[in-house]
Structure 1
Amino acid sequence: MFDRLLFPTDGSDGADAVLDHVVDIAAAHDATLHLLHVAPAEPERRPNLRDGDGDTEASDPGDSDGSDPTERRRTDGERFVTDAEARASQSGVSVVTSVERGEPYRVITEYAAERDADLVVMPTHGRTGLSRLLLGSTTERVVRRSDVPVLTVRPDAATGLAYPYADVLTPTDGSVCATAAVAFGSELAAATDAALHAVSVVNVAAFGADIRGPLLIDELEERASDAVEKAGDAAATAGVETVRKSVGRDVSIHDGILAYIDEHDVDIVVMGTHGHTGFDRYMLGSVAEKLVRTSPVPVVTVREPRDE
């Protein structure tokens, strides 16, 4: 299923914690692992006001020892990818390393598209308390903009993660983005002999003050049931042997999905990133980004196809 994986690394503890899991995925699929570090862009140069000949000087004067901090960070980046390459090579994984300059999220998304990557893997940098709700800004931007599916892993949950996964959850509302996620999740489950859980959660709290609430909830449940049935059919067509289908109610879709993860020992969630407005916003909406921040298990976010 995977031929090329992209793992951006900044040498942080979060990246280091997730690396072993990325290597396990690459080894299982005999995939090439691309290790990328994005160094800061070259500093802009401005006219040297002390000279009258139009010479320029860097806007960043460097450290007191005369070293160029931008070049030093590039050298650090080369060390980060080299160290990661050494760890990956111990598992027999083929590795490509690269150090690029620029805006990190932009370089990552462009690199993934240009190298035809199948999956981008990134840590969320989540921890405990309030900070666990905050994504690293680069990860968040990549999740929102990448046309390539993005697997996010909480560093504090990376230890002990097993691959291949045994239970894959695909929340669905029947939308285009959810259908794309179901297709990816089905392919992943089929490739790893995992069970696929096709689930739709109806937000009952959204209609609490609406006199039409019961009728709207019934309609949503009908649509949810239809979406789950279609997801199950797609999984079976993809070759998934075990498909579990469920439609539930909860005060929020996010809470319903988290409860399902806990109750069914789900190993990974595959979810579309684009919700809808109007009626459909009561289904997925912006749940994907919230789930990335709080899920105790890895989450793959899948964008709807561009041509849609």
Structure 2
Amino acid sequence: MFDTILVPIDDSPGSQRAFEAAATLARQYGSTLHVLAVVDEHGPSDGDWDYDGDSPAATFVDEQTDVVDTDGIDVTPAVREGVVHEEILDYADENGVDLVVMGTHGRTGVRRYLLGSVTEKVVRLSDVPVLSVKADADPGAVAFEDILLPTDGSSGAEAAIEPTAALAGETDATVHVLSAVDTRSLGIDVGSSVIIDELESIAEDAVATTSERLYEAGVGAVKTAVAHGIPYQVILQAIDDNDVDLVVIGTHGRTGIDRYLLGSVTEKLVRTAPVPVLTVRSSDAGDGA
């Protein structure tokens, strides 16, 4: 499924953790791994960081490739200059990338390529799945033994089922399917209980449908839950309760200004989840998850 993986790098801890995760996945799937550094055209000028030839930027990519275990992996190094998130997205499109792996909490300044904010922009705009890896993740190879798959039954959520099944099939992971019933907008009135029952029924149907599709895709272990609360907080609690290693969450396809708005469940998870988050965009346009 992930034949070509792209990992943009800088010199932040999150970048190295992302590189390690990308290398692990590339080895598991026999993927080609593209390692990309982007010199920010709007960053502080530094003549030593030209992007062509045997510049320090190119040397940096080579050094990072030596630091991370890439034995047995087909690695393609690359250096570009421009607006960082645009260069990453363009590179992914031009090279038929199936997965982008990025670190979070990047830093700004010379020799640091803004991967904190850039990651969020790539998550919003990428047409291919993006795996966000925290800077404080444990060093070394990643392991996905328990995967959390939140769902609300939408086409956006459904987009995450196939990659979840592929990852679980590769690692024999248990998939925890979760739907959150968000009742914050309901007042206390005669009809509230009826509305809550309807929301619970929708959540239960979403969980049941997702579980069935996972089993059909060959996933052997699936656990389900429906919980009440603010969705991203419910997801964070489920991560803790189930020792989850990875969250896979679908997002609706968005166009125009909607693609730049913050505050969605997905973006809150990318910022706050203690484990890697794999975001998968639906091809259908609609509101963000």
Q: How many angstroms apart in 1 are the aligned matches of 2:42 and 2:208?
A: 53
Match of 1:77 in 2: 57
Alignment of 1:218-257 (within 5 A): 218-250=197-229, 252-257=230-235
Q: How many angstroms apart in 2 are the aligned matches of 1:219 and 1:275?
A: 26
Instruction: Please report how far the alpha carbon of residue 257 of structure 1 lies from its aligned counterpart in structure 2 after TM superposition.
Output: 0.8
Match of 1:199 in 2: 178
| Pair member with larger Rg | 1
Deviations 1:23-55 (CA, angstroms, capped at 9, x unpaired): 222122221110001123499xxxxxxxxxxxx
295-304 vs 2-11, which deviates more? 2-11
Instruction: Please report how far the alpha carbon of residue 145 of structure 1 lies from its aligned counterpart in structure 2 after TM superposition.
Output: 0.1
Aligned residue pairs: how many? 271
Instruction: Please report how far the alpha carbon of residue 238 of structure 1 lies from its aligned counterpart in structure 2 after TM superposition.
Output: 0.9
Instruction: Please report how far the alpha carbon of residue 111 of structure 1 lies from its aligned counterpart in structure 2 after TM superposition.
Output: 1.2
Instruction: Please report how far the alpha carbon of residue 126 of structure 1 lies from its aligned counterpart in structure 2 after TM superposition.
Output: 7.3
Tell me if 1:120 matches 2:96: no
Match of 1:270 in 2: 248
| Counterpart secondary structure, 2:100 | strand
Question: Which one of the candidate residues 173, 183, 194 is aligned to 2:152?
Answer: 173
Q: How many angstroms apart in 1 are the aligned matches of 2:57 and 2:157?
A: 36
For structure 1, the 5+ residue unaligned runs are: 44-59, 128-133, 277-284
| Equivalent AA in structure 2 for residue 212 of structure 1 | G
175-184 vs 139-148, which deviates more? 175-184
- The 1:167–1:126 alpha-carbon spacing in structure 2 relative to 1, beyond 3 Å, is farther
Aligned partners of 2:251 and 2:281 also within 8 Å:
yes
Match of 1:155 in 2: 135
Aligned partners of 2:106 and 2:117 also within 8 Å:
no
Aligned partners of 1:21 and 1:158 also within 8 Å:
no
Identity of aligned residues (%): 43
Instruction: Please report how far the alpha carbon of residue 182 of structure 1 lies from its aligned counterpart in structure 2 after TM superposition.
Output: 1.9
| Equivalent AA in structure 2 for residue 247 of structure 1 | V
Deviations 1:1-44 (CA, angstroms, capped at 9, x unpaired): 3221100012223212332222222122221110001123499x
For structure 2, the 5+ residue unaligned runs are: 108-113, 255-262
Instruction: Please report how far the alpha carbon of residue 249 of structure 1 lies from its aligned counterpart in structure 2 after TM superposition.
Output: 1.1
Q: How many angstroms apart in 2 are the aligned matches of 1:155 and 1:42?
A: 24
> TM-score, normalization: structure 1?
0.79
> TM-score, normalization: structure 2?
0.84
| Counterpart secondary structure, 1:91 | coil
Match of 1:14 in 2: 14
